[in-house]
């Protein structure tokens, strides 16, 4: 437990010390909220009869968590070559504990980032449907963060080139995000897009988060929770296995 706590705390300290990273990571969510939220707002209101900001905000929150969680993996490559991880891996401690601590730390940072975006969305006019369900929203946020932190760490564990990591991540992240229903309703999609969205794990995270914050969902919230929990467990197992195979 001591190693898990140390790795978790280290991830948090690195985040708090990196002010440019904290500020810069808010740029994309702000752009989506302003440009899409207000740009497509009138069109969405005519087509669906509701507020596009209310529909969009859960997707943007999930996007912020996704990007922050996935890109924590690059720290594995950096630390393995130059930093703390290289010393930790030769210590007589379980690599599983190191992986768990890093994943929990990255997930905590990602959830905090999502909470900041949530507060910003409130300033732009987003309204929570039922405040009692906010704890459920935090649970969905944490599952999304755990899933993609573990996934990003698994990918980084198989790479040694830091320049290749962002390219591969963008190649993976963009389809995951755009097919998740974060920007558009899942009802009435072409069959191919609907099938792809059904295989996208973020789809269930966005849908569950939207249900918790607005009361609107495409699937059952229990289905969203179950799918996320199972995939998160699988990602954690795979990520731990890849991390245990890191060569120093």
Q: Which long-range contacts (CB under 8 A, 24 or more apart) does 35-42 make?
A: 36/183, 37/124
As a whole number of angstroms, the distance between CA 206 and CA 203 comes to 5
Chain centre to alpha carbon of residue 80: 23
Digit-coded pLDDT (tens) for 8-65: 666 666 666 665 566 666 778 888 888 887 777 777 776 666 778 888 999 999 999 9
pLDDT number for residue 95: 72
pLDDT number for residue 15: 63
As a whole number of angstroms, the distance between CA 52 and CA 50 comes to 6
Q: Which residues of the chain have pLDDT under 50?
A: none
Q: Looking at the 3D structure of the chain, how many domains does it have?
A: 1
Give me 197's structure tokens: 């969205």
Residue showing tokens 């909220």: 33
Residue 137, φ and ψ in degrees, nearest 5: -60, -40
pLDDT number for residue 87: 64
pLDDT number for residue 164: 74
As a whole number of angstroms, the distance between CA 194 and CA 92 comes to 48
Report the candidate in 153, 126, 101 with the shortest Cα–Cα distance to residue 213.
126
What's the domain range around 117? Answer: 2-244
pLDDT number for residue 90: 64
pLDDT number for residue 146: 92
Strand ranges in the chain using DSSP code E only, listed in sequence order: none
pLDDT number for residue 29: 83
């Amino acid at each position: 437990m001591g190693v898990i706590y140390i790795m978790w705390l280290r991830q948090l300290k690195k985040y708090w010390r990196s002010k440019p990273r904290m500020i810069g990571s808010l740029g994309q969510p702000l752009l989506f909220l302003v440009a899409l939220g207000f740009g497509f707002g009138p069109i969405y209101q005519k087509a669906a009869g509701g507020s596009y900001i209310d529909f969009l905000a859960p997707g943007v929150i999930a996007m912020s968590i996704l990007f922050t969680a996935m890109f924590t993996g690059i720290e594995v490559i950096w630390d393995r070559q130059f930093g703390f991880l290289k010393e930790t891996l030769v210590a007589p401690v379980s690599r599983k504990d190191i992986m768990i601590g890093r994943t929990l730390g990255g997930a905590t940072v990602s959830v905090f980032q999502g909470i900041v975006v949530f507060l910003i969305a409130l300033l732009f006019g987003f309204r929570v449907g039922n405040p009692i369900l906010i704890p459920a929203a935090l649970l969905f946020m944490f599952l999304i963060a755990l899933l993609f932190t573990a996934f990003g760490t698994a990918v980084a564990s198989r790479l040694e080139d830091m320049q290749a990591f962002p390219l591969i991540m963008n190649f993976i992240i963009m389809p995951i995000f755009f097919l998740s229903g974060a920007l558009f309703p899942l009802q009435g999609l072409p069959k191919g897009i609907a099938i792809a969205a059904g295989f996208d794990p973020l789809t269930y995270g966005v849908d569950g988060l939207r249900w918790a914050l607005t009361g609107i969902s495409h699937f059952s919230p229990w289905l969203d929770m179950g799918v996320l929990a199972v995939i998160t467990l699988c990602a954690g197992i795979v990520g731990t296995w890849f991390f245990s195979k890191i060569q120093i």
